[in-house]
Amino acid sequence: MTGSAKPVRISAGFACLLFLAISAWASIASATDPSLVVGESTRLQLSHGLQVNTSTGSKPGTSVVCERVHIRGLPRLKNLGKIAHIVKVNVSQRDPSIRTSKTEVCFHRNVSLGVGMCPQGQWEKVVKGSWVRSMSPFDHRILDIRTAGSSLEPFEVSIEEEFFLYRIICLILGIVLMSLASPLSKSFVFYYGGAMSIGVILVILIILFQGMKLLPTGRRNSLAIFMYSSVVGLGSFLLRYLPGLLRTILTEIGISEDMYNPLAIFLLAFLVLTGAWMGFWAVRKLVLTEDGSIDISTSNFVAWSIRILAAVMILQSSADPLLAAEALISGIMISSSLWRIFRFIRRLYKYDFTILELNDYLPSSGIQDLLPFHPLRSSALICLIGVSKI
């Protein structure tokens, strides 16, 4: 048993030494390469470059000039305030008027690849002297640049941080929606309000769709297209006379100028009420049960749909996958804590209202003599103690 374990230990030790040697070699190699650090350096002038004869995708026997640039990101825990930032990496030509040879860029993370040895499908061309890509400010990336010319000195690499407000909005809205998913799925106001709003939009879209059906855009008849273009041209010419024509028609009907605004408001109210009626009918048919309560399966489906939408919004709060996952976990914990506090306060107020209702039916000193404490004062004290513990 001891004899068989000895070769295994020797093999494991050799593997560890080999791994340490490769890691040390990679760190030494990366230390010699030029690099840009997010938040410290923003621009790097490329050097003459390294001559490579076996770069992937190049013709046999031809050599290209390559250079590698390391872009080092920030520590995540020390820079949480940059969750909504991204870094734009730009490879540009200093003088766009000078014509250069074909230049390609490979943006990757594989440290084991040699300079200029990216797979053929990962090389991207520098178009019109510029190449731009985005990355997370916490990521570590490698930028390989190669050219068929004699030098890479006409090019420079720059990085620029950019803040996106919509990512913060997505984070806040995601946490709020995840906290309110259960109450919203059981709220009549949410169902009726949402359905009526969608109904109004559907009515407007139906009217527009019926109007678009009258246009001969889907026909192949050249005569119809000619007539349509003629009508459009004539309509654009008569557009300035259209308000006067409508005013004349309304006057002939018996509607004066003082009635224009009330008539427009009436038509708008008619559209809104029609859409609201459609939403109300949809809620009565699809959401509510026969006794007028919300269907349990529908409520669960809506709650989980809101949670999934909230999770997607939280994941959009950062361009860094690890930080976005941490934000999602934190959002779930915060929403769970907020829901527990809300449920505790709601139960506490229900208890107080029950005591007050009993006070109305019993003598003024009857229920107070039965209880060893004053309900409202003690409940407020319990509320403060519970919130402090949470």
Q: Is the pLDDT of residue 168 over 90?
A: yes
Specify whether 151 is located in the same domain as 206. no
Give the pLDDT of residue 167. 92
Determine, yes or no, domain membership for 330: no
Give residue-wise pLDDT tens across range 55-113.
777 777 678 888 888 999 888 888 888 889 999 999 888 777 777 778 888 988 888 88
Determine, yes or no, domain membership for 43: yes
Give the pLDDT of residue 38. 87
Determine, yes or no, domain membership for 95: yes
Amino acid found at 349: Y
Determine, yes or no, domain membership for 182: no
Determine, yes or no, domain membership for 282: yes
Determine, yes or no, domain membership for 344: no
Specify whether 149 is located in the same domain as 192. no
Q: CA nearest 154: which of 86, 99, 83? A: 99
Total domain count, the chain: 2
> Could you tell me the pLDDT band of residue 373, with boundaries at 50, 70 and 90?
very low
Determine, yes or no, domain membership for 206: yes
Specify whether 39 is located in the same domain as 156. yes
Specify whether 156 is located in the same domain as 210. no
CATH number of the domain encompassing residue 141: 2.60.120
Give residue-wise pLDDT tens across range 338-353.
888 887 887 777 665 5
Q: What is the mean pLDDT of the chain?
A: 75
Could you say which of 163, 197, 223 is where a domain stops? 163
Give the pLDDT of residue 25. 40
Give the pLDDT of residue 375. 47
Specify whether 43 is located in the same domain as 158. yes
Give residue-wise pLDDT tens across range 221-275.
556 666 666 666 666 666 666 666 667 776 777 666 666 677 777 777 887 788 8
Q: CA nearest 39: which of 202, 161, 205? A: 161
Q: Which one has a higher pLDDT value, 306 or 291?
A: 306
Specify whether 157 is located in the same domain as 261. no
Determine, yes or no, domain membership for 258: yes
Q: What is the span of the domain harbouring residue 61?
A: 31-163
**8 Å CB contact between 65 and 152:** yes
